[in-house]
């Protein structure tokens, strides 16, 4: 058990290092940062001066090691535009994005898991078909378009919620629902598939042969097993939501990490962009590790693997 | 053979004219046709036949655990004053695990992997004994685990199924189904998935518990060694029908149907391991069960086939007393009848 | 670490390779059965019909489009579509804030979505399938490396990486295609890897090995053809995903750059006036929705038809 997790931890660390190199080098490799920063009409001297100012003229690996060693001390550099420390910029906004992602995940699970169970129990009836249509349609709806439609319908037409901003809880309803809809289809499908498999398993037949009530058979014996992969998926989705909230945050003008990343990308504020990329990747890695731990807790067989 | 230990008690279960049809794209598959039998307390009825002959469907039908595509009809399935073919699903659920227990073939997959053994045993007791405390259930579980020969029962209760061997899991399954002392236990190939040495132990355990708890047992097997070891009554099934049934003595010593005789010939002689007595050395394939059948379903594998075997419906008829068989020939005939009575096919 | 997820998705995603050997010889041939199932599959029929219409629209755009999609006419700005209060048949879907014909831009926009979606899905398919087959076939260190690459890829936030690279590299379609190809290969790798692992142990691979076939011959001639059905199914899902990501990037202004007509960009341009001209976001958004749903329906249909037991 312990060895199992130590091994995973080591792999996770390797992945994190690789991801940090990619995050760090992405902007530098996509074009000449100094000339982009200098603007279109800059002279070669200007570009050279900028490169020197930001240390972009040094060898790549030195830039990276420099950044990593200070990052490990908690110093991610400063924004080129506001001169604020990047770590503070991120910490100020993690609450908004984290809250958004976690609420969306919870909402999605609350809707999608029961729907998936229903679809499996009523397989090949119109319940099942309705759930399938919902999931296919949900998967095909562009996130940003759905957000705009929500604004048109619920904020402009019905005036139930404010259009944008982050002053109150009401401001977060539409962003959370938009994000939740984007991950509901996969959760629902996985729940349905898991339930279908488990419902035809021998141990569910045993549970029925014991005379247990349909409720106990379904929720104690079947769902408990079918939910295991959904838990793994949920961790992945939380990581996806953290990175994917950029669209929703920029549409609803929420001051989270995604919006910060978007602004910084537009302004080529590379210290901020690279830090956010690496931060989100590492968050994903931690989340998957966490989901493995939860899975080991939920599934007694895991120790054997 | 355990001889005739059948008591004179009234039967626990009387099955009369049971049919199971399964809906398939091509129509209705007659998985079980016109099956009738009865079992008394302490008596064991063995359902014997090759895989696909309908014996497992018969057992699932008795438990009302058939797949949704299957329909069960019967003149009557009488069990302790209920007609199992007619009572509601709610009523049936109250009988399962309480008055009728079922043991499945594969103990590796038949136990829920995420719950402890104690949990899975106790929940049967708690379900059927309203107001029973968790402590009572635990005591009962511990008692039964030790009764099925598991040492350190108290410790085992906290373990998960994957921590147990196949034999132990099957013992646990038996203990689980005995939690409420059912009147009838149905065992579907309970030893097939186990090692040979464990098989014998499990069968002995089942027989012993049967006497102790005064249970009737329906044992489903394709293994004639198992039949010889346990059966009081035998019903031989072929293609969804019972082709021969009677006391174990009659069926073993005077097999009336050519199929039963074929099975006996495949059986190992004295001295060989009982588990070797597998069926299936009779050449030929079982006919499709979709649509209406005419004549004898065994005819294309039968060495004694006659033109009249293709005709009409062949009913079970007595060979001697309660010993029934489904064949146009005289019981135990070794040659086809010289003169065919029916018109040529 | 993430390998649990990798294996799990693989198991649920991968249907057994070829079932044809299990069919009764007396039953109709697998191909005939497949054709029969295909004719009866409503989703597949609707999906392929919509895709065909959109592809024809894209190919014959210059013949079909009533106007030049780039031609601005400031005297004819924000005209309602034909069903609107002041709509006319001159501009069926109305005009945008620069007086360009929405229908014409929509028709030309199909080219962008299809081109980006298809080409990037092919690139991703080649990368992912190659990695998956190599990892699954050779196992050991090669496989460990492939799993490691998959985990690295999964850890990267796709939209943010795409936005960053696309912002620096400028708005060239080619760059965007390659970028999206490199960001979406993981699913191919995960599924083909586990399928190759299963197949490696099967008889027909064993027998060609015994017959002295080289590894590369086995990979090309035996394994790859058996994976094709599954790869095509993943490609449909991937193409749908890429179209959505391209639309999102263009919507945020960092994908396809104006004035090129991309559907995502059209939604973005319509956003400024969406409160009084909602059709400017509804029409291009609906086009994306329609294309993606059609591709998904066709993909699900292919899966149901080729391996009906793998539904769910």
- Partner-chain contact B96 A298, CB within 8 Å: no
- Partner-chain contact B160 A300, CB within 8 Å: yes
Backbone angles phi, psi at C16, to 5 degrees: -55, 140
Q: A39 exposed, middle or buried (CB, 10 Å; 0-12, 13-18, 19+)?
A: exposed
Three-class SS state of B175 = helix
pLDDT number for residue A285: 93
Q: Please report, rounded to a whole number, the percentage of residues in chain B having pLDDT higher than 70.
A: 89
Q: In this complex, which chains have at least 3 CB pairs below 8 Å with chain C?
A: A
Residue B102 is given by DSSP the state E
Instruction: For chain C, give percent helix, strand, coil, nearest 5.
Output: 70, 0, 25
Shortest distance, CA A12 to any CA of chain B (angstroms): 27
- Partner-chain contact A210 B176, CB within 8 Å: yes
> Mean per-residue pLDDT for C14-35?
50
Q: Are strands B216-221 and B44-48 parallel, antiparallel or unpaired?
A: parallel
Mean pLDDT of chain B: 84
- Partner-chain contact C152 A144, CB within 8 Å: no
B1 has a pLDDT exceeding 70 = no
Q: Which residue of A has its CA nearest to B173?
A: A206
Asked if the C-beta of A207 comes within 8 angstroms of chain B's C-beta atoms, the answer is yes
pLDDT number for residue B176: 92
B185 has a pLDDT exceeding 90 = yes
B338 has a pLDDT exceeding 80 = no
Shortest distance, CA A285 to any CA of chain B (angstroms): 26
Kindly calculate the radius of gyration of chain A based on its CA atoms and give it in whole angstroms.
24
Q: Which residue of A has its CA nearest to C285?
A: A145
Shortest distance, CA A264 to any CA of chain B (angstroms): 48
Q: pLDDT tier at C21 (50, 70, 90 boundaries)? A: very low
pLDDT number for residue B234: 92
Q: Among C5, C12, C251, select the one facing A144 at the smallest CB separation.
A: C251
Write out pLDDT tens, residues B202-238.
888 999 999 988 999 999 988 888 888 888 999 999 8
pLDDT number for residue C59: 93
Measured in whole angstroms, the distance separating CA B75 from the mean position of its chain's CA atoms is 20
pLDDT number for residue B330: 78
- What residues of B are in the A interface, CB distance below 8 Å? 63, 65, 93-98, 101-102, 104, 106, 109-115, 123-124, 127-128, 160, 162, 173, 176-177
Asked if the C-beta of A190 comes within 8 angstroms of chain C's C-beta atoms, the answer is yes
- Partner-chain contact A209 B65, CB within 8 Å: yes
pLDDT number for residue B282: 66
A-C contacts at Cβ under 8 angstroms = 168
Query: CA angle at residue B205 from B204 to B209, to 5 degrees?
Result: 120
pLDDT number for residue B269: 54
B2 has a pLDDT exceeding 60 = no
Write out pLDDT tens, residues C117-155.
999 999 999 999 999 999 998 888 999 999 999 999 999
Shortest distance, CA B86 to any CA of chain A (angstroms): 17
pLDDT number for residue C204: 74
Q: How high is the mean pLDDT in each 10-residue block of chain A (305 residues)?
A: 80 92 83 77 82 81 88 86 89 92 96 94 90 91 94 88 77 92 94 93 93 92 92 90 90 92 90 92 92 85 61
pLDDT number for residue B342: 45
Q: pLDDT tier at C183 (50, 70, 90 boundaries)? A: very high
Separation between Cα atoms, residue B86 and residue B71, nearest integer Å: 12
Separation between Cα atoms, residue B33 and residue B26, nearest integer Å: 18
pTM: 0.84
**Please, which residues have CB within 8 angstroms of residue A106's CB and are 6 or more apart in sequence?**
none
pLDDT number for residue A148: 93
Three-class SS state of B44 = strand
- Partner-chain contact A142 C8, CB within 8 Å: no
Q: Where in C46-147 does DSSP place strands (E)?
A: none
Separation between Cα atoms, residue A104 and residue A148, nearest integer Å: 17
pLDDT number for residue C141: 92
> Mean per-residue pLDDT for B241-261?
87
> Mean per-residue pLDDT for B258-268?
78
> Mean per-residue pLDDT for B27-41?
89
Mean pLDDT of chain C: 83
Asked if the C-beta of A285 comes within 8 angstroms of chain C's C-beta atoms, the answer is yes
What residues 3-22 of chain A have any CB closer than 8 A to a CB of chain C?
8-9, 11-12, 14-16, 18-19, 22
C292 has a pLDDT exceeding 90 = yes
Q: Among C12, C152, C248, select the one facing A247 at the smallest CB separation.
A: C248
pLDDT number for residue B73: 92
pLDDT number for residue B284: 65
B311 has a pLDDT exceeding 80 = no
Q: Among C157, C163, C165, select the one facing A280 at the smallest CB separation.
A: C157
Q: Where in chain C does DSSP place strands (E)?
A: none
Separation between Cα atoms, residue C127 and residue C56, nearest integer Å: 29
For the beta carbon of residue B172, count every other beta carbon within 10 angstroms: 26
Q: Among A145, A151, A262, select the one facing C267 at the smallest CB separation.
A: A145
Asked if the C-beta of A143 comes within 8 angstroms of chain C's C-beta atoms, the answer is yes
pLDDT number for residue C311: 42
- Partner-chain contact B93 A209, CB within 8 Å: no
Instruction: Identify whether the C-beta of residue B115 lies closer than 8 Å to the C-beta of residue B76.
Output: no
Asked if the C-beta of A27 comes within 8 angstroms of chain C's C-beta atoms, the answer is yes
Shortest distance, CA C218 to any CA of chain A (angstroms): 31
B254 has a pLDDT exceeding 90 = no
pLDDT number for residue C17: 37
Contact: chain B with chain C (3+ CB pairs below 8 Å): no
Write out pLDDT tens, residues C151-177.
999 999 999 999 998 887 777 899 999
Write out pLDDT tens, residues B79-95.
998 999 999 999 999 99
User: What ipTM is given for this predicted complex?
Assistant: 0.90
Q: Which residue of B has its CA nearest to A221?
A: B112
- Partner-chain contact A211 B123, CB within 8 Å: no
pLDDT number for residue B224: 85
Q: Among C155, C163, C275, select the one facing A281 at the smallest CB separation.
A: C155
pLDDT number for residue C79: 80
Own/partner long-range contacts of A55-63 (Cβ < 8 Å, ≥24 apart)? A56/A28, A60/A25, A60/A28, A63/A24, A63/A28
């Amino acid at each position: 058990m312990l060895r199992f997790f130590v091994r995973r931890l080591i792999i996770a660390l390797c992945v994190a290092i690789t991801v940090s190199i990619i995050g760090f080098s992405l902007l530098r490799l996509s074009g000449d940062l100094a000339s982009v920063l200098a603007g279109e009409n800059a002279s070669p001297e200007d570009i050279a001066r900028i490169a020197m100012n930001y240390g972009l003229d040094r060898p790549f690996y030195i830039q990276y090691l420099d950044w990593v060693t200070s990052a490990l001390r908690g110093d991610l550099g400063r924004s080129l535009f506001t001169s604020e420390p990047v770590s503070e910029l991120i910490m100020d906004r993690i609450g908004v994005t984290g809250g958004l992602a976690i609420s969306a995940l919870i909402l999605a699970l609350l809707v999608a898991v029961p729907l998936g169970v229903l679809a499996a129990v009523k397989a090949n009836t119109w319940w099942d078909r309705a759930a399938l249509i919902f999931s296919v349609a949900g998967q095909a709806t562009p996130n940003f378009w759905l957000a705009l439609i929500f604004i048109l319908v619920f904020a402009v037409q019905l005036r139930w919620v404010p259009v944008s901003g982050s002053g109150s809880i009401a401001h977060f309803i539409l962003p959370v629902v938009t994000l939740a809809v984007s991950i509901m289809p996969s959760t629902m499908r996985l729940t349905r598939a898991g339930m279908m498999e488990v419902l035809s398993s021998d141990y569910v037949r045993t549970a029925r042969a014991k005379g247990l009530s349909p409720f106990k058979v379904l929720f104690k014996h079947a769902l408990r097993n079918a939910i295991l992969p959904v838990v793994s998926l949920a961790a992945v989705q939380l990581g996806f939501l953290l990175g994917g909230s950029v669209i929703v945050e920029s549409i609803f003008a929420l001051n989270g990490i995604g919006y910060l990343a978007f602004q910084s990308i537009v302004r080529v504020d590379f210290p901020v962009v690279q830090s956010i990329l690496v931060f989100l990747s590492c968050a994903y890695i931690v989340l998957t590790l966490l989901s493995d731990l939860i899975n080991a807790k939920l599934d007694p067989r895991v120790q054997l693997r | 053979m355990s001889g005739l230990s059948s008591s004179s008690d009234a039967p626990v279960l009387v099955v009369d004219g049971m049919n199971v049809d399964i809906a398939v794209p091509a129509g209705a598959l007659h998985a079980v046709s016109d099956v009738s039998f009865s079992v008394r307390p302490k008596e064991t009825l063995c359902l014997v036949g090759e895989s696909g002959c309908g014996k497992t469907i018969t057992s699932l039908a008795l438990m009302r655990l058939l797949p949704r595509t299957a329909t069960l009809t019967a003149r009557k399935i009488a069990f302790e004053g209920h007609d199992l073919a007619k009572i509601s699903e709610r009523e049936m659920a109250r009988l399962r695990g309480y008055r009728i227990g079922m043991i499945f073939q594969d103990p590796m997959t038949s136990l829920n992997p995420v719950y402890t053994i104690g949990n899975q045993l106790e929940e049967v007791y708690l379900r059927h004994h309203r107001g029973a405390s968790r402590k009572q259930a635990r005591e009962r579980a511990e008692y039964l685990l030790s009764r099925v020969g598991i040492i350190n029962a108290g410790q085992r209760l906290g373990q998960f199924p994957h921590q147990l061997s196949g034999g132990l899991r099957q013992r646990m399954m038996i203990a689980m189904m005995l939690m409420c002392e059912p009147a009838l236990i149905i065992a579907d190939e309970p030893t097939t998935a186990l090692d040979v040495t464990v098989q014998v132990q499990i069968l002995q355990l089942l027989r012993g518990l049967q006497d102790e708890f005064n249970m009737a047992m329906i044992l489903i097997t394709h293994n004639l060694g198992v039949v010889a070891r346990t059966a009081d009554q035998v019903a031989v099934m072929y293609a969804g029908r019972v082709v021969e049934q009677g006391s174990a003595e009659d069926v073993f010593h005077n097999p009336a149907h050519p199929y039963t005789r074929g099975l006996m010939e495949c059986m190992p002689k004295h001295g060989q391991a009982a588990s070797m007595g597998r069926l299936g050395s009779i050449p030929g394939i079982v006919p499709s069960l979709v649509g209406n059948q005419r004549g004898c379903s065994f005819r294309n594998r039968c060495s004694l086939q006659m033109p009249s075997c293709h005709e009409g419906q062949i009913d079970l008829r007595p060979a001697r007393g309660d010993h029934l068989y489904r064949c146009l020939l005289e019981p135990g005939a070794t040659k086809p009848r010289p003169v065919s009575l029916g018109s040529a096919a | 670490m993430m390998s649990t997820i990798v294996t799990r998705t693989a198991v649920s995603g991968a249907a057994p390779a070829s079932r044809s050997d299990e069919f009764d010889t007396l039953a109709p041939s697998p191909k005939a059965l497949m054709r029969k199932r295909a004719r009866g599959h409503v989703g597949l029929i609707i999906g392929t019909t919509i895709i065909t219409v959109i592809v024809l629209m894209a190919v014959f755009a210059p013949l079909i489009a009533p106007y030049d999609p780039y031609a601005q006419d400031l005297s004819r700005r924000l005209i309602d579509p034909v069903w609107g209060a002041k709509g006319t048949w001159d501009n069926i879907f109305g005009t945008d804030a620069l007086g360009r014909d929405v229908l014409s831009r929509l028709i030309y926009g199909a080219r962008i979505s299809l081109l980006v979606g298809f080409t990037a899905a092919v690139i991703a398919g080649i990368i992912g399938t190659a990695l998956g087959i190599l990892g699954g076939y050779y196992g050991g260190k090669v496989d460990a490396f492939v799993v490691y690459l998959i985990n690295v890829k999964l850890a990267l936030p796709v939209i943010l990486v795409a936005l960053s690279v696309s912002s620096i590299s400028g708005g060239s379609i080619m760059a965007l295609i390659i970028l999206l190809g490199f960001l979406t290969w993981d699913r191919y790798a995960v599924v083909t890897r586990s399928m190759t692992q299963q197949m490696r142990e099967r008889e027909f691979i064993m027998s060609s090995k015994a017959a002295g076939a080289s590894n590369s011959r086995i990979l090309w001639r035996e394994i790859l053809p058996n994976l094709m059905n599954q790869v095509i199914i993943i490609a449909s899902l991937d193409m749908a995903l890429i179209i959505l990501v391209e639309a999102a990037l263009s919507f945020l202004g960092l994908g396809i750059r104006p004035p090129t007509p991309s559907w995502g960009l059209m939604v973005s341009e319509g956003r400024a006036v969406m409160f009084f001209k909602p059709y400017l976001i509804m029409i291009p958004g609906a086009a994306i929705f329609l294309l993606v749903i059609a591709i998904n329906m066709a993909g699900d249909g292919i899966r149901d038809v080729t391996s009906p037991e793998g539904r769910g």
